[in-house]
Amino acid sequence: MQTQKVIDHIVNWLKDYATKANSKGFVVGVSGGIDSAVVSVLVAKTGLPVLVLEMPIRQKADQVDRAQDHIDFLKSNFPNVDGFRVDLTPTFESFEKTTEGYKDDSPSKNLAEANTRSRLRMVTLYYYGQINGFLVTGTGNKVEDFGVGFFTKYGDGGVDISPIADLYKTQIYEIAKELGILESIQKAKPTDGLWEVERTDEDQIGATYPELEWAMEQQKAGKTEADFDGREKEVMTIYLRFNRATQHKMNPIPVCEIPAELKN
The ranges assigned to domains in the chain are: 3-202, 206-253
> Residue 80 is which amino acid?
N
Cα(216)–Cα(250) distance, rounded to whole angstroms? Answer: 14
pLDDT, one tens digit per residue, over 205-231 is 899 999 999 999 999 999 999 999 999
Cα(161)–Cα(205) distance, rounded to whole angstroms? Answer: 25
Q: Name the pLDDT band for 200 (thresholds 50, 70, 90).
A: confident
What pLDDT, on the 0 to 100 scale, is given for residue 101?
85
Cα(64)–Cα(78) distance, rounded to whole angstroms? Answer: 21
How far apart are the two ends of the chain, measured CA to CA in Å? 56
What pLDDT, on the 0 to 100 scale, is given for residue 44?
97
User: What is the arithmetic mean of pLDDT over 108-129?
Assistant: 94
Region of 192 (left: φ > 0; alpha: ψ -120 to 50; beta: rest) is alpha
Is the model's pLDDT at 193 over the cut of 80?
no
What pLDDT, on the 0 to 100 scale, is given for residue 150?
86
Q: Are 245 and 147 in contact (CB under 8 A)?
A: no
CB atoms within 10 A of CB 187: 8
CB atoms within 10 A of CB 84: 11
How many Cα neighbours within 13 Å face the side chain of 185? 28
pLDDT, one tens digit per residue, over 7-53 is 999 999 999 999 999 999 999 999 889 999 999 999 999 999 999 99
The H-assigned helical ranges of 34-149 are 34-44, 61-77, 89-99, 109-132, 142-146
Is the model's pLDDT at 196 over the cut of 90?
no
CATH of domain 3-202: 3.40.50.620
User: What is the arithmetic mean of pLDDT over 60-86?
Assistant: 92
Question: To the nearest whole percent, how much of the chain has pLDDT over 70?
Answer: 98
Is the model's pLDDT at 105 over the cut of 70?
yes
